[in-house]
Amino acid sequence: MTSAPSRSVDLIGAPTDVGASARGASMGPEALRVAGLKERLQAHAIDVHDLGNLSGPSNPWLPPVDGYRHLAEVAHWNRQVHEAVYASLARGHLPIMLGGDHCLGIGSVSAVARHCRAQGLKLRVLWLDAHADFNTSAITPSGNIHGMPVACLCGHGPAELVNIGDVVPAISPKVIRQVGIRSVDAGEKRFVHQQDLEVFDMRYIDEMGMRHAMELALATLDDKTHLHVSFDVDFLDPDIAPGVATTVPGGPTYREAQLCMEMIADTGRLASLDVVELNPAFDLRNKTAELAVDLIESLFGKSTLMRK
């Protein structure tokens, strides 16, 4: 039997918004630090190492070329993230990648997949997001690569991105469970259906409840499964989390989000985490960063449960 995931955590900042539709997500890592992420995790007897920020090219803020904005810069940042996350996992630690925009999920998830192949582990990826992030250059309305990471990870994208991690595709669509989805472009919707992604969108959550959605999303995890959570802060309803550039009304409430995180914690399998798309330029007195830290704390065992 494999041991439970590590209680040693590495914080890895990736301060860039090169994949995004608006500037500002580059300030996300510092906002999470200001909100006390390290100290809150240490209060749960977790050994936290803040590795500081990765470095990479600045945002040139140019129009798309051949359907992609800032492809070279996005590839550079994702290679940096890939190596840092993989090194953290090789040390036996739990990496928390602090974004930055969601294009960085290409680097982090491909590193986790590489680690799982090396260790003979199964992989489950929970993609908590308002968006499916399954666009390609042929169907994207914007060229922003933060709308493409899941497609790239599944092998649909430019060589510079799909080849990060050396195995193409990095993951199968079968390992992904998307939760909270409520904004999908028309061409992207057809592609999601074609690839048979498992999506628990907000209508499903409205009809069946967050508990049932999460039970299905977490089904069949065992001690040979590495659970990766990619938490886009726009997953949350903008009434409680205004600090994102791509707000979509009708997201999970505070209690639904807490239940989601607590059920993940209950599995005992969380082994890597992304926190992305926090944009302090759109926030109110760091409210969204503080909420994100509160929810991350729940992922690591803070619970409202009074049960024994």
Catalytic residue IDs? 102, 129, 131, 133, 146, 232, 234, 277
Phi, psi (deg, nearest 5) at residue 140 = -65, 135
User: Could you say which DSSP state residue 164 is in?
Assistant: T
Closest CA to 225 of 300, 128, 115, 132: 115
Which are the contacts of 73, defined by CB distance < 8 A and separation ≥ 6? 16, 18, 56, 57, 58, 59, 60
- With 0-12 CB in 10 A as exposed, 13-18 as middle and 19+ as buried, what is 78? buried
Which phi and psi angles does 287 have, rounded to 5°?
A: -55, -45
CB neighbours of residue 77 within 10 Å = 28
| Radius of gyration, CA atoms only, the chain | 17
Give, rounded to a whole angstrom, the gap between the first and last alpha carbons of the chain: 26
For helices 105-119 and 71-90, give the axis angle rounded to 10 degrees.
40
